[in-house]
Structure 1
Amino acid sequence: MTDENSMTKEKPFAALTPDFILDAVESRGFYSDGRAIALNSYENRVLQIGIEESDPVIAKFYRPNRWTKAQILEEHEFCFELVEQELPVVAPMVTQGESLFEYKGYYCALFERKGGHAPELDNLDSLFTLGRFLGRIHKVGQAKDYAERPDLTPQTYGNDSIDYIIEHALPPEVKMPYESLARDVMKLVDELWQKAGQQRYIRVHGDCHVGNILWRDDNPHFVDLDDSRMAPAVQDVWMLLSGERDQQQKQLLEIIEGYQEFCDFNVAELQLVECLRTLRMIYHSAWLARRWHDPAFKHAFPYFGSVQYWQEQILDLRVQFAELQEAPVSLPIY
């Protein structure tokens, strides 16, 4: 017989039937019109719920056993601090005196629906604006530390991920070449991390890519701080860079000029850009491996786990190994 915990692991959202979802939302005093639209999210389940005679709300059902209640509430508190400073962050709604509620075994939160589109990262004016808001967000993030949420480090994102991949995910045909290369890459990442000097860890968005920024009326709205943690400030900057090195330097100049209107930026952290890109690549593969029991992942990433997938990862890591040995992206004014 399969116990409840193993069922939760294999099918973490099996109980989220349409009736269950609507009942959870209505338990907070909202009366649904029966419409529920699934939004793009794999880690959690996020849906837009139609509300009678009112605007829709966004319902988020957290993946069981990922974050503790205390860790989720820390992220919520950070959102509320940002909103208090009139920053455009979509914070959870407070209903019945709380931002996080439990419904039949699931932690849930509700959010206002915000419209918008992805920012144009080739628009330097948009990057300057994003930099100004990131500077303000990080000014609040520096005010205190997370007590419950983890740090983003080469160990937690890189070495721990490689250990998991080797033990649980690699086909025998690619185990030796992947492990050898990944260990060499992480050795270089560790060296560069140390070379960058003592880093100040602050509360950051953590996953600040264009999919988590809604652009409207020439201003951004930052959404989904689910991956927020303690990290160097550059973690929220590097994912906004794209193209060749000269393009990235122009983009970076605009971002940091806007950023430093509100918060000092440690330019030594620019040495971490390719390190962080490498860590995200490795962490992503480990994330897929950790979630492979979830049927939604098998459907969305059918190629994962194949020899071809890992061969492509090896090629990508070789490219990153070369990038890590190049001079880091820099600011012309420094």
Structure 2
Amino acid sequence: MSDDAQTPYSNLSPDAVLNAVERSGWRCDGRQLALNSFENRVYQIGLEDGSFVVAKFYRTGRWSDAAILEEHRFTQELAALELPVVPPLVTAAGETLFHDGNFRVALFPRRGGRTPDLEHGETLKRIGRLMGRMHGVAAQRPFEHRETLDIQSFAIDSYQFLLSSGFVPPALEQAYQSLAETLVAQAQGCFERAGNFQSIRLHGDCHAGNILWTDEGPHFVDFDDARMGPAIQDLWMCLSGDREERAVQMNHLLDGYETFFEFDYRQLHLIEALRTLRMIHYAAWIARRWADPAFPRAFPWFDGPRYWDEHILALREQSALMDEQPLSLLVS
């Protein structure tokens, strides 16, 4: 991999950020704030009229231009139907994605909000209604240029990369490989029990940090991980607590969700499998980005033996959970 791909933001200075925004047609006043993002680089930029935009500099090599534009069109499609999402701004040249030197950049309106209270039933019902509306639109056509959430890319490719990366301590390599192979087989069993489910366009990373709440209700941000997959992927990350608590929360979500889109209850078999895939993929994501100086600073514990002991323990717990029956819900 080239040095540019390993450290793509080494030349992204504050002046370069402002110059890129100005070349896209917006006049800056010099205010600039780096926002929390590791995969890409995202900045809040002040404009001369006193307003703000959010500038997103996409990581080199992750998505093709066609895949990024497909994400943009998806959010524009949702916004046109009055769903509360944040589509990109259109530049003076009529573009949502533009190139500035080696960088690909998109601008977004600033939309604030607070983290929703996911333990409150009415909050979950409102989020469920929004997800149901979104999935009703998403199911109408597939992505053509974005990936699919599957076992191969999220689990097999990920654990094999980790074993070849040198991050897994040698004393744990055999145990990690054996456990990963077991988890893959269990996840495949969960997918088989879920049957031939419909794969739809997803937000893909619908945790509480990407659902912002205002007085008007929830809105979704950051569709960077949008991909094809089962609808349950956009639901399960709103769940927390013990099994009984998660069942109650899922009932609230689906109470709102099924107002607009029918849920395939066989997909409940996928929840722990998808959680397992996410955990393996997350570890591989950090390892793949380790040459980016932001990652050792943000995850200093990653290359230590304690992390891997805890990671393996958490995965063993997932192995037990995948053998359990799925959540029991009140099916209406």
In the other structure, the counterpart of 2:81 is: 85
Q: CA deviation at 1:269?
A: 0.3
TM-score, normalised relative to structure 1: 0.97
Structure-to-structure mapping, 1:51-200, within 5 angstroms: 51-95=47-91, 96-168=93-165, 169-200=167-198
Q: Which of 198, 201, 208 matches 1:210?
A: 208
> How far apart, CA to CA, are the structure 1 residues paired with 2:5 and 2:89?
28
> How far apart, CA to CA, are the structure 2 residues paired with 1:192 and 1:11?
38
Match of 2:182, as an amino acid?
D
In the other structure, the counterpart of 1:254 is: 252
Deviates more, 1:40-49 or 1:26-35: 26-35
Match of 1:236, as an amino acid?
D
DSSP 3-state at the match of 2:291: coil
Q: CA offsets per residue over residues 8-27 of structure 1, 9 Å max, x none?
A: 13321011101100000001
Q: CA deviation at 1:282?
A: 0.4
RMSD: 1.0
In the other structure, the counterpart of 1:242 is: 240
> How far apart, CA to CA, are the structure 2 residues paired with 1:243 and 1:307?
28
Deviating above 3 A after TM superposition, structure 1's stretches of 4 or more consecutive aligned residues are none
Q: CA deviation at 1:325?
A: 1.2
Match of 1:145, as an amino acid?
P
Q: Are 1:18 and 2:14 matched, yes or no? A: yes
- Residues 9, 293 of structure 1: 8 Å contact kept: no
Q: CA deviation at 1:218?
A: 4.4
TM-score, normalised relative to structure 2: 0.97
Q: CA deviation at 1:171?
A: 2.2
In the other structure, the counterpart of 1:33 is: 29
- Residues 270, 329 of structure 1: 8 Å contact kept: yes
> How far apart, CA to CA, are the structure 1 residues paired with 2:70 and 2:13?
29
> How far apart, CA to CA, are the structure 2 residues paired with 1:83 and 1:221?
11
Match of 1:83, as an amino acid?
A
> How far apart, CA to CA, are the structure 1 residues paired with 2:49 and 2:80?
29
DSSP 3-state at the match of 1:54: coil
> How far apart, CA to CA, are the structure 2 residues paired with 1:52 and 1:79?
27
> How far apart, CA to CA, are the structure 2 residues paired with 1:45 and 1:219?
27
Q: CA deviation at 1:54?
A: 3.0
In the other structure, the counterpart of 1:297 is: 295
> How far apart, CA to CA, are the structure 2 residues paired with 1:140 and 1:10?
36
- Provide the identity percentage: 47
Q: CA offsets per residue over residues 224-281 of structure 1, 9 Å max, x none?
A: 0000000000000000001111111111111111111111110100110001111100
> How far apart, CA to CA, are the structure 1 residues paired with 2:216 and 2:273?
32
DSSP 3-state at the match of 1:144: coil
- Residues 173, 307 of structure 1: 8 Å contact kept: no
Q: CA offsets per residue over residues 58-88 of structure 1, 9 Å max, x none?
A: 0000001110000101111101110011000
> How far apart, CA to CA, are the structure 2 residues paired with 1:263 and 1:195?
22
Q: CA deviation at 1:28?
A: 1.6
